[in-house]
Amino acid sequence: MRELLFAAVLLLGPPSGADPTMPGCTGGIAPDPRGSVITGPGTVHTNVEAVPGGVYDLSVWAGSRKPGPTTATGLRFVDGDGVQTGRTYARRPLQNQPKRYNSYGMIAPPDATAAQFFATTTTEIHWDCVFLRVSAYEVDLEAAEDTLKVTVTNTGSEPLTSLKLTVTGCADFPPFALEDQVVRTCAGSPPATATVSGALYWNGALPDRSESLDLGHGIGHQPQHTGRR
């Protein structure tokens, strides 16, 4: 989206009275700067690399001296050509004093290459903090010398818990948490399927994921997201 010439963007400080359960303006994958103001009319946006299929949660502390239907902050996704893919998620500030507005459970489309935070107004809008999180993971299955190797990787910014792994012909593995990466092995050979289920992130559940080996050929599968929105 093009930025209008009338937009004036000024860096502001961190928010006051941020929710103590949130890291405020540190951590996450929020764009920089995290606080600005537009004296409109104008639109600004900042891109961060997207995780296709990832579940995004956005919190913005925003306000406006002249609230209206054309004043908002939010998130959208764009593809490799910079064209929007999927829907737009937007929240309108209703008062001058910055207040926290949340948009949770936003799923990045399969063709998304960037998550785009934006702010737009025909009057004035200011925001003190942008905090963006993404929850996602992927599964990889390999076979070598009668051994199956499963690698589960956290591809988001948030830790996951309660993951359960089942592999064709293997004994059950105990549930595990996922901060970065977990590797499990067992005796076996293709055809085989590894399935991870029960993954929980801070606001709900992520979909099951599976990876299959069919006589030397791997076939991945990811069901539809089933977490809360």
CATH number at residue 125: 2.60.120.260
Given a contact cutoff of 8 angstroms between Cβ atoms, the answer to whether 151 and 183 are in contact is yes
CA dihedral 73, 137, 53, 121 (to 10 degrees): 10
Describe the strand order of the beta sheet including 137-144 as a list of residue ranges.
137-144, 147-154, 181-187
pLDDT at 226 over 50: no
| 12 contact partners, CB below 8 Å, separation of at least 6 | 35, 36, 37, 126, 127, 128
Q: How confident is the model at residue 229 (pLDDT cuts 50, 70, 90)?
A: very low
Percent of the chain with pLDDT over 70: 82
* CATH assignment of the domain containing 160: 2.60.40.1250
Residue 177 has a pLDDT of: 97
Residue 21 has a pLDDT of: 55
Dist. CA 99–CA 18, nearest whole Å = 9
Least confident of 24-28, 71-75, 102-106: 24-28
Average pLDDT over residues 5-30: 47
Closest CA to 28 of 132, 156, 160: 132
pLDDT at 183 over 70: yes
Average pLDDT over residues 49-66: 94
Q: Decide which of 95, 116, 135 is a domain's last residue.
A: 135
Q: Is residue 180 part of a domain?
A: yes
Q: How confident is the model at residue 23 (pLDDT cuts 50, 70, 90)?
A: low
Number of domains forming the structure of the chain: 2
Q: Looking at the structure, do residues 100 and 40 belong to the same domain, yes or no?
A: yes
Residue 22 has a pLDDT of: 56
Q: Is residue 14 part of a domain?
A: no
The model's pLDDT over 206-218, given as tens digits with 9 standing for 90+, comes to: 999 999 998 755 5
Owning domain of residue 171: 137-221
Residue 38 has a pLDDT of: 92
Dist. CA 211–CA 205, nearest whole Å = 19
The model's pLDDT over 126-156, given as tens digits with 9 standing for 90+, comes to: 998 888 999 999 999 999 889 999 999 999 9
| Higher per-residue pLDDT: 43 or 1 | 43
- Count, residues in the chain: 229
- Centre a 10 Å sphere on the Cβ of residue 189 and count the other Cβ atoms it contains: 15
Q: Looking at the structure, do residues 61 and 123 belong to the same domain, yes or no?
A: yes
Q: Looking at the structure, do residues 56 and 147 belong to the same domain, yes or no?
A: no
Radius of gyration for the chain, computed over Cα atoms and rounded to the nearest angstrom: 21
